[in-house]
């Protein structure tokens, strides 16, 4: 089954960006394991009712970023990563959320120590 991508056509975020973010997140969470074949540009374009150019751009940039790689002619697959690269790939989506949280913390004037303590509490809470 191809990855389920949900595109919001009207939120102002370019569709190619939305595809990239969602594919990266699905790779990070293991929904798209290494070696998974991506849908063809044509198929995904029909599926999402999006311009094929948009899909090519997203795929091209994902390839450039090392998330995908081209195999056996044209097929795009999820690239296997190891070590530091795999770790960065996994925590990258979290980093994005934390950047926003950090900005809010500064805005609310929450001291660094207190913000870290809060994050730790939330982590502990969720694992119970």
- Contacts with other proteins, residue ranges (CB under 8 A): 9-17, 42, 45-46, 49-54, 57, 103, 106-107
Shortest distance, position 49 Cβ to other proteins, whole Å: 6
Residue placing its CB nearer to other proteins in the complex, 112 or 120? 112
Secondary structure letter of residue 34 according to DSSP:
T
CA distance 101 to 124: 18
Q: Of the two residues 17 and 87, which places its CB atom closer to other proteins in the complex?
A: 17
Cα angle 25, 48, 92; round to 5? 10
Residue 45 CB, shortest distance to other proteins, in Å, is: 6
For the record, the structure tokens of 65 come out as 């970023």
């Amino acid at each position: 089954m191809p990855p389920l991508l949900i595109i919001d056509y009207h939120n102002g975020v370019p569709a190619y960006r939305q595809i990239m973010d969602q594919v990266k997140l699905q790779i990070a969470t293991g929904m798209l394991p290494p070696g998974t074949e991506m849908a063809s540009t044509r198929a995904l374009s029909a599926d999402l009712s999006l311009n094929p150019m948009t899909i090519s751009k997203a795929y091209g940039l994902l390839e450039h970023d090392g998330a995908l790689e081209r195999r056996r002619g044209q097929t795009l697959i999820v690239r296997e990563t190891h070590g530091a690269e795999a770790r960065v790939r996994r925590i990258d989506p979290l980093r994005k959320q934390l950047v926003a949280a950090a900005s809010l913390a500064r805005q609310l004037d929450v001291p660094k120590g207190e913000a870290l303590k809060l994050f730790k509490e939330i982590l502990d809470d969720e694992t119970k």
